[in-house]
Amino acid sequence: STYLTRKGRCSVEIFTILRFPDPRLKLVAQPVIRFDDSLGQTCANMLQTMYAANGIGLAATQVNIQQQILVVDLSAANNQPLVIINPTIMNKAGSIIWEEGCLSFPGIYAKVKRSEKINLEFYDPQGQRQNMSVEGLLAICIQHEIDHLNGITFVDHLSPLRKKLLRNKLDKISQES
């Protein structure tokens, strides 16, 4: 797969996704300050990594890039990519409980309470400021990925009892990594 930049075509690299309990998943990402071809390449690689893993969202911190970049695509055909850089949730409304999974926690699913609707400010890969209101699964996915950028995983949202119930699965994952 290739990605078109101002300088021509670049090949796409599939990144390695960090898995729990990798301590790098707890790092807080830094804002992107350079909007250039290198950033475009990183975004293209992140999208291809997400598609290769059959995911619907991926944060840069999950591939050991400590920058505020996330990618999302809820389409069945993987043809509606959304790249969000330096996101800020401006406001939230409602609440929804959804069973979430995570590429960094293979085989682990848990119900998480999130805001049903969010208004988001962010930059696109060209450095243009964007504003967007989303709801439902897209809002859930974006909140999940923003959490990653802040060193928070979906398991951190669970009650102590729910974490305890998942502990055997989590321990099994950490022994495999």
CA torsion sign, 157 to 160 to 166 to 170?
Answer: positive
Please tell me what DSSP assigns to residue 116.
S
- Comparing CA positions, the residue from 119, 133, 42, 49 lying closest to residue 58 is 49
Rg (CA), the chain: 16
Tell me, yes or no, if 121 is annotated catalytic: no
Active-site choice (99, 100, 145, 176): 145
3-state helix, strand, coil in the chain (%, to 5): 35, 30, 35
- Burial string for 136-146 (b: 16+ CB within 10 Å, else e) reads eebbbbbbbbb
Residue found by looking up tokens 């960094």 in the block: 104
Catalytic residue numbers, as ranges:
145
